[in-house]
Amino acid sequence: MKNENLYNYILGIADNSLILGQRLGELCGHGPSLETDIAGTNISLDLIGQTRSYYQYATKISEQEKTEDDIAFLRIEREYKNVLLVEQPNTHFGYVMGRQYLFDVYHLMMLQQLQFSKDETLAAIAKKGIKEVSYHKRFSGDWVKRLGDGTAESTAKMQEAINDLWRFTAELFDMTDADTAMALEGKGVDVSKLKEGYYKEVTALLEEATLTAPEGMYFSRGGKKGVHSEHMGYLLADMQYMQRTYPNMEW
């Protein structure tokens, strides 16, 4: 494929939004309040809308006859390039908000850089997404603070979530071959440069929420290379069911 690095770079970004959007979509109708339930569903729709823009671009540069639905629903597990963080299950509400916040901070930082891409399509998608993701981060950050500085039970559950999820954050800043190639061409973002600012911002909010950032932890990696956690297969089984059961159906 002539544009293989660009194609893989796009999937690396888009798959994060698709899988996190799917996780949030699982909670539709199960939020702790009507307002929060609707907000979570809207964030899911934002992420899937961004995913669609990326996949539509990917189909244009691909030399294969694939649709955006093919890319979204007909790949095997090892072909998805999302980070491990976004595929983690919805253990409890604090876990959901912790996962969301830890990704949102990174996502916004990345888009703020991607909007200056030499690739006009990627720049346009990023500019549109910044407004949405700014809201996502504010929403999830407010909940982390509210739960962290709340009751003894909410504090304990929020700290539990941060402790469990923290080990997945370092992978956000790993650079794949496609990432490196696109960064050198000025089309992609060198996410390794975002690491210091990310941990500084996240740690500051955790302190405000009376929570503690874990230290000296082993970090789990693999998602960007297609090596996923045990949760990914179950997620894909749900997400891909209709498309695989009724091939070539159109919405």
The DSSP line for 145-161 is HHHHTS-HHHHHHHHHH
Residue 236: the pLDDT is 94
Residue 248 has pLDDT above 60, yes or no: yes
- Amino acid (1-letter code) at residue 104: D
Give the predicted TM-score (pTM) of the model.
0.94
CA distance 48 to 21: 6
Residue 251: the pLDDT is 55
Residue 210: the pLDDT is 97
What is the Cα Rg of the chain in Å?
Answer: 18
As a whole number, mean pLDDT of residues 154-165 equals 97
Q: What is the mean pLDDT of the chain?
A: 94
Residue 215: the pLDDT is 87
CA-based end-to-end distance of the chain = 29
Domains of the chain: 4-212+223-245 (1.20.1260.10)
CA distance 155 to 212: 11
Instruction: Provide the token pair at 22.
Output: 């799917």
Residue 202 has pLDDT above 90, yes or no: yes
DSSP H stretches of helix in the chain: 4-25, 34-61, 68-73, 84-87, 93-114, 120-148, 152-165, 177-184, 195-208, 231-245
Residue 54 has pLDDT above 80, yes or no: yes
| Environment class of 89 (CB within 10 Å of its CB; exposed 0-12, middle 13-18, buried 19+) | middle
pLDDT digits (tens, 9 = 90+) for 216-229: 778 899 999 999 99
Q: What is the dihedral of CA 184, 76, 24, 174, to 10 degrees?
A: -30
Q: How confident is the model at residue 7 (pLDDT cuts 50, 70, 90)?
A: very high
pLDDT digits (tens, 9 = 90+) for 55-83: 999 999 987 888 888 999 999 999 999 99
Could you tell me which residue, 227 or 31, shows the higher pLDDT? Answer: 227
